[in-house]
Structures are given as C-alpha cells and as structure tokens.
Amino acid sequence: MNLLDPQGPVAAANSTILVDSVFIMLVIVVPTIFAILAFAFWFRASNTRARYQPDFVYSGRVEMVVWSIPALTVILLGGVAWIGSHQLDPAAPVPGTGSPVRIQAVSLDWKWLFIYPDQRIATVNTLTVPAGAELNFQLTSSSVMNTFFIPQLGSMIYTMNGMVTRLNLRADNVGKLQGLSAHFSGDGFPDMMFDVNVISPLAFPDWVATTAKSDAVLNEESYKKLMQQGIERGRLSFRLADPRLFDLIATQHIPPGPGPELLSDAGRPHSGGHDAR
C-alpha cells in the first residue's frame, strides 16, 4: 500500500506532486535548521570568540529577505497546488483503453458494496477491475460517512448518505491491491479493508460472466439485510436484480441503514459493540 509505489496514473501524479513539494520545501527548511543549530551553538555564552551585538535588533535587509523566502516558496507551491487541484480533481476524466467501467460503491456498516450496473452484478469487499480501462466511480453511503481509498491508485473521496460523490481512477498493472475506509465510521471500521483485483481486460468479461451466474440476487430486500451493522468476512458476489439500486440508495428511497439495535438500557457501554468482535 506504499503511496510511493503507484499503480495508476492518478496515484503517480499525486505522489509526484507530494515528492516535489517536499523537495521544494526542503530547499529552505534544511538550511534553516542548520542555521538554527549553528547560531545557537556559535553564540553560546561561553564562546568568547562570538561577538555580542545587543543592538542588532532591526535590519531592513534581513526583514526583506525573511519575508521573501517563505513568500516565494509559497508562490511556487501555490502554483503547484492550483494546477494540481485542477488536473487531479477526483471527478476529472482519466482516459484509458477500452470502454470505461462504471462502478457504484456504497459504504455499509461495515463493509463495501460494489455495484456494476452495466454488467448487472455486485460484489462485497472485493473490487475487480480490468487493467488499463477508465474506472468511473459513483459513491454514496448507506449510513455514516466513510472515505473510499485505494492508496496505490490515488485520490480518496468521502461517501455520504443521500449524496453522490464522483471519482475517476485507472489501474495500470494486473495484480492485487488493497483498499480501505479512511474515515472512522464506528466499531467495525478497521474491518472495512477490501481487496482490489486488477485483472487483464481480456479476463474481465469472463469474470463478469462467472459472477453473473451467482445464486445470490441483490435487490432491495437483500440489500436491507446487508446494510445491518456487522462485519462481512466472506467475499460475496451477487447478480444485480435492478440496475437502479444505487439511485434508490442515493436518493434515500431506501432509507438509511439502522444503527445499533436499541436496547432498553441505551446508556450501556456495550450497545452495538457486539458485532465487531
């Protein structure tokens, strides 16, 4: 999950900006740290060779320089930030080979549901994508906020109930990656890690066909069962009954997921904690 080992163009661009920004700043930070240590050491009271200048309390030239150094750095970095924000906007298209794959991600308590509306399939806690194709994500949440993040593919984005966020990514190399939720969402939060299988574009249709044969069907009813609080250890896959399921969730036609079961003694420290263990 190393951020400096990107597996897609978005992550590569993000990490380039990250590394470049660090180096731009190090250019002034390192000399400044050295100066602090050097001045502190040289002007120690016991050093008789250091000249005591109690009246050196103002110098227009020095002031000019000390305001300029950080200002120039910030102007430079500000440019990086401006251009970077526009080029790497999560919703900006990421051209790839072949036709884009639409994926609708829903964060549940505490698992990830990935709906492929065009392929009419859905999976839980495993995201399978073809290498090289543009991946158009639409994201929402069944209950509380979460953040969808695959470190080696780049940019993360929040999922929120009743709202849809957009993110475009691309995975360049076949392999196994990991994704996670990067926003605390309750007791089962640490178990919201998911596998990302990047497979070759030729194998993708096969995978879709196999998955579509699944006995399990994802419809409103089975979705409501799935959104109950709890951790899903297995890697489920479904045939998608209604390709509009995501819209029903995002527009709250399916009401938000329930919280912990309300016990009569709601003040107890454990309410809702059982599922997580």
Partner 1 sequence: MLGKLDWSAIPFDQPIPLAAGGVVLVAILAVLIWVVVKGHLPYLWDEWITSVDHKRIGVMYILLASVMLLRGGSDAIMMRIQQAVAFQSQGYLPPEHYNQIFSAHGTIMIFFVAMPFVIGLMNLIVPLQLGVRDVAFPTLNSVGFWLTATGALLVNVSLVVGEFARTGWLAFPPLSGLSYSPGVGVDYYAWSLQISGVGTLVAGINLVTTVLKLRTRGMNYLRMPMFCWTTLASNLLIVAAFPILTATLAMLLLDRYLGFHFFTNEAGGNVMMFMNLIWAWGHPEVYILVLPAFGIFSEVVSTFSGKALFGYRSMVLATMAICVVSFMVWLHHFFTMGAGPNVNAIFGIASMIIAIPTGVKIYNWLFTMYGGRIRFATPMLWSVGFMVTFIIGGLTGVLVAVPPADFMLHNSMFLVAHFHNVIIGGVLFGAFAGFEYWFPKAFGFRLDERWGKAAFWFTFTGFWVTFMPLYIAGMLGMTRRLQHYDVAAWRPWMIVAVIGMAVLSIGVICQIMQLVVSIRNREALRDRTGDPWDGRSLEWATSSPPPVFNFAFHPDVRGEDAYWDMKVRAQQQSLEHEDPEYHDIEMPRNSPTGFVCAFFATIMGFALIWHIWWMVILGGLGAFATFVVFAWRDHDEYVIPAEEVARIDRVNLEERRSLVSMAGAI
Binders of partner 1 among residues 149 to 208 (CB under 8 A) are: 149, 151-152, 154-158, 160-163, 165-166, 178, 180-190, 193
**197-256: contacts with partner 1 (CB under 8 A):** 252, 255-256
Segment interacting with partner 1 (CB under 8 A) among 76-84, 117-125, 219-227, 241-249: 76-84
Between the alpha carbon of residue 267 and those of residues 160, 228, 258, 271, the distances in Å are 27, 21, 18, 8
Task: Give the full edge-to-edge strand order of the sheet including 175-181.
Answer: 126-130, 194-199, 175-181, 146-150, 154-159
Segment interacting with partner 1 (CB under 8 A) among 57-65, 111-119, 130-138, 232-240: 57-65
DSSP calls for 119-138: TTEEEESEEEEETTSEEEEE
Q: Does 114 bind partner 1 (CB under 8 A)?
A: no
The angle at the Cα of 32, spanning 29 to 35, to the nearest 5 degrees, equals: 155
Between the alpha carbon of residue 214 and those of residues 101, 210, 238, the distances in Å are 20, 7, 6
Which residue of 7, 9, 11, 218 would you call a contact of partner 1, by CB under 8 A? 11
Q: Does 69 bind partner 1 (CB under 8 A)?
A: yes
- Compute the least distance from the CB of residue 61 to partner 1, in Å: 11
What is the Cα Rg of the chain in Å? 26
CA-based max dimension of the chain? 86
Give the residue with the Cβ less far from partner 1, 118 or 187. Answer: 187
Give the residue with the Cβ less far from partner 1, 21 or 214. Answer: 21
Q: How far apart are the C-alpha atoms of 155 and 18, rounded to whole Å?
A: 12
In this structure, which amino acid lies at residue 275?
D
Q: Does 106 bind partner 1 (CB under 8 A)?
A: no
Give the residue with the Cβ less far from partner 1, 98 or 255. Answer: 255
Q: Does 8 bind partner 1 (CB under 8 A)?
A: no
Q: Does 93 bind partner 1 (CB under 8 A)?
A: no
